[in-house]
Chains A and B, each alone.
Chain A
Amino acid sequence: MTPDAHTLTGAYALDALDEPERRLFEQHLAACPACAQEVDELRATAARLGAAVATRPPEALRDRVLATVTRTRQDPPLRPAHQPHPAGPAPRRWPLRLAVAGAALLLGLSGALGALAWRTQRQLDTAQQQLSRALGCTERIAAVLGAPDARAVSGAGAAGGTATVVVSRSRGEALLLASGLPPTPNGRAYQAWLIGPSGPRSAGLVPGPATGCDGELGFTPAGDAQRIGVTVEPAGGSTRPTTTPVVLLSLPA
């Protein structure tokens, strides 16, 4: 693979090559498995840019598409022995009741990560570790969002960034989602506090960028807590907040 061709994987994955160059690059791709794998990954990445701008289509589109599908013949498969799932552990079933909204989010992530699991048997173990690590936060998000009584409140951080808190009273679960907060100094971490009439109570340390759950903290909303705050604390956490909150939000009722 020439260095130049390698550089084109990005532009190709973004459909940013013009036609002659695209054709040339596709010829090259056919002979370059390393490029093909990179293109796959970069396309899946570009697709996340698309998923992030999901927009509700007009209702008429649904009717038209479904009506067209009814009278459209499907192409025959390319390979006769189509294996829907490669051999190996069965895909896990989502144990949670999800609203469509929650599922959409979950799918964005698990679609991308799930694809990994299929890629090669050799990578299965690593992929599953990544998957379960990411699912730890994603499942929780999906569960809270899927609750019919999920309510969200957002606000700006005092030093930049935003935070959203989502609460489902029926499930007794809540989530804090912080993004764009300034990085904490070495040896420090963000800690969340539930604040009620009896004072602040720790809701836990907010996971950092190294965790795969960056800025996403699940917690149990105590009955009397009215607000949630986030402060910078020593990495192990404090028993009481020791600095001024960088985020302070009222919990949704």
Chain B
Amino acid sequence: MDEHAGPARRRPLPAAEAAARTPDELLVEVARGSEAAFERLYDMVAGPVYGTVLRVLRDPAQSEEVAQEVLVELWRTATRYSPARGGALAWVLTLAHHRAVDRVRSAQSSADRESRAGALAEGRPFDEVAESVAGRLERERVRRCLRTLTELQRESLVLAYYRGYTYREVAQLLGAPLGTVKTRLRDGLIRLRDCLGVTR
């Protein structure tokens, strides 16, 4: 019943089992100061973290900087993680998106952002080549679910999440009323939540 992962274990964790630890399980060990667990956790979350930040910032050098901050913060604050809040990967990606958006809003003038808006208006959310079959499958699921949204829901979500715009900016870009965009962001996320099975 007492399952401490550590040198006291009678036999080493078989490789297959070790590889299949969830981020939540690893994070518990990270909170106890295990750098080895952090290294494994890094390999699971660094790609999603970097990809999320890169989407918003577009600039690889800045994205690397922000991703580094986020990943070190993951280590530093692992002790304060509470599983009730919704999964380690979701937790770190929430942090990553938040930091990326902070960076955009503090560092870039609105003029910069306008030109980004012009450059990105035609941008598709999934134009990069997937690096693994697994990545492609996750992408497929999300893509499939995004297709179930209305066009306005989907466009609003994509501009807000992948481009880091506020809902006011989204409304301006789409020429839609503020209230409508606010509602579409929520409706769209709820529909996506139900489609992806993230829910209760």
Contact = CB atoms under 8 A, between A and B. Distances in A.
Interface stretch (A42-50, A224-232, A239-247): A42-50
B35 A45 contact: no
22 contacts: A14-B97, A18-B168, A40-B85, A45-B193, A55-B47, A61-B68, A62-B46, A65-B42, A74-B76, A76-B79, A78-B80, A82-B79, A84-B28, A84-B31, A86-B83, A96-B20, A99-B19, A104-B134, A111-B90, A112-B197, A130-B197, A134-B197
Interface stretch (A5-13, A26-34, A189-197, A199-207): A5-13
B20 A103 contact: yes
A179 B133 CA distance: 15
Contacts, number: 309
A52 B189 contact: no
Given A15-B101, A94-B17, A119 B84 contact: yes
Contacts of A114: 22, 24, 87
Contact of B24 (A9, A72, A111, A119): A111
A159 interface: no
Nearest to B134: A105
B200 A15 contact: no
B98 to A, nearest CB: 5
Contact of B68 (A64, A75, A98, A126): A64
A50 B52 contact: yes
A115 interface: yes
Chain A contact residues, majority secondary structure: helix
Contact of B67 (A15, A57, A78): A57
A128 interface: no
B86 A41 contact: yes
A236 interface: no
A104 B48 CA distance: 10
A72 B189 CA distance: 36
Contacts of B189: 10, 13-14, 42, 45-46
Interface of B: 15-17, 19-20, 22-25, 28, 31, 33, 35, 38-39, 42-44, 46-52, 54-55, 60, 64, 67-68, 71-72, 75-80, 83-90, 93-94, 96-98, 101, 105, 125-126, 128, 131-144, 147, 157, 160-162, 164-168, 170, 179, 182-183, 185-190, 192-193, 196-200
B133 A166 contact: yes
A46 B161 contact: yes
Nearest to A106: B20
4 closest A-B pairs by CB:
A10-B186, A94-B20, A115-B87, A50-B52
A24 interface: no
Contact of B200 (A14, A70, A111, A116): A116
A14 to B, nearest CB: 4
Given A8-B182, A40-B85, A214-B144, A68 B23 contact: no
Nearest to B78: A74
A111 B162 CA distance: 21
A61 B64 contact: yes
B186 A9 contact: yes
Contacts of B193: 41-42, 44-45
Contact of B133 (A43, A91, A101): A101
Contact of B164 (A15, A69, A78): A15
Size category, A interface? 35 or more
A82 B31 contact: yes
Contacts of A82: 31, 79
Contacts of B22: 91, 107, 110-111, 114
Contacts of A103: 19-20, 44
A77 B44 contact: no
B47 A10 contact: no
Contacts of B79: 74-78, 82
